[in-house]
């Protein structure tokens, strides 16, 4: 029976399978390209972000003594400023891949609080977008 197609797949099925594989590969490449571009943008913006964090810390430190509410409020403000300075140092010294790895570790080790923070940030972001 020469000339007959004895496989269970029709010629169109093979073409469809190859098309699906090609589309999946294109989608995967597009995702990787987007991730690379996002990583590059984060890395490019690290210095600016660190400067802004330090600027905010500096402002808080300068105004801490003028805050109403007593010693506890002033101590809290100084602690917040120290945290912002530490974050600035971290952002400046770690690339985007390392930061993502650290975030994954924190989320893996603290899933409940991470979920709560993600929900809160999503709510705040959603509210901000609705207002604009």
List the domain boundaries for the chain: 16-93, 103-132
- Quickly count: other Cβ atoms within 10 Å of residue 119's Cβ: 10
Looking at residue 130, what is its pLDDT? 80
> Mind listing the pLDDT tens digit for each residue in 46-96?
889 999 999 999 999 999 989 898 899 999 999 999 999 999 999 999 988
DSSP result, 111-131:
HHHHHHHHHHHHHHHHHHHHH
């Amino acid at each position: 029976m020469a000339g007959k197609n004895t496989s269970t797949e029709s010629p169109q099925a093979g073409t469809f399978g190859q098309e699906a594989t090609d589309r999946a590969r294109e989608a995967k490449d597009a995702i990787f390209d987007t991730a690379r571009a996002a990583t590059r943008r984060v890395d490019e913006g690290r210095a600016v972000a660190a400067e802004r964090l330090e600027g905010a810390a500096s402002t808080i430190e300068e105004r801490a003594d003028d805050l109403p509410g007593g010693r506890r409020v002033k101590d809290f403000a100084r602690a917040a400023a120290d945290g912002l300075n530490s974050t600035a140092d971290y952002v400046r010294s770690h690339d985007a891949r390392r930061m993502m790895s650290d975030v994954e570790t924190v989320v893996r080790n603290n899933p409940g609080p991470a979920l709560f923070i993600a929900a809160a940030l999503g709510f705040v972001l959603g509210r901000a977008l609705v207002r604009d």
